[in-house]
C-alpha cells in the first residue's frame, strides 16, 4: 500500500467513526508529514512511496487502529 492510499483510508475510517483526522504536511521534514487521528499521531513518509508491511503495522498501532479496519 502506498502512503497516499493509507492516508485516504484513514481519513475515510475517521469520517465513518466520527473521529477528527488531519494530515499536516508542514509538520514534518522533507517529504514527511504528520497524520493526526483523534488524540494520536503518526509520521507519514512521501505519499507516493510504498509502505513496508512492518511500517504499516507500526503506523496503525500508533494511531490505535487495526489494519483490517482500513479495508
pTM for this predicted structure: 0.92
Query: Residues 27, 1, 44, CA angle at the centre, nearest 5°?
Result: 10
The residue-averaged pLDDT of 51-66 equals 96
CA–CA distance, 37 with 12 (Å, rounded to integer)? 11
pLDDT of residue 29: 85
CATH class of 3-70: alpha beta
Radius of gyration of the chain (CA): 11
Residue pLDDT, tens place only, 4-32 = 999 999 999 999 999 999 999 998 888 89
- 47 close to 2: Cβ distance less than 8 angstroms: yes
- Domains of the chain by residue range: 3-70
pLDDT at residue 36 tops 90: yes
Amino acid at each position: 500500500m502506498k502512503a497516499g492510499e493509507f492516508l485516504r483510508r484513514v481519513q475515510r475510517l475517521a469520517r465513518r467513526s466520527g473521529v477528527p483526522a488531519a494530515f499536516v504536511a508542514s509538520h514534518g521534514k522533507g517529504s514527511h508529514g504528520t497524520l493526526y487521528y483523534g488524540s494520536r499521531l503518526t509520521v507519514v513518509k512521501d505519499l507516493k512511496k510504498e509502505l513496508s508491511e512492518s511500517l504499516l503495522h507500526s503506523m496503525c498501532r500508533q494511531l490505535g487502529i487495526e489494519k483490517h479496519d482500513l479495508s
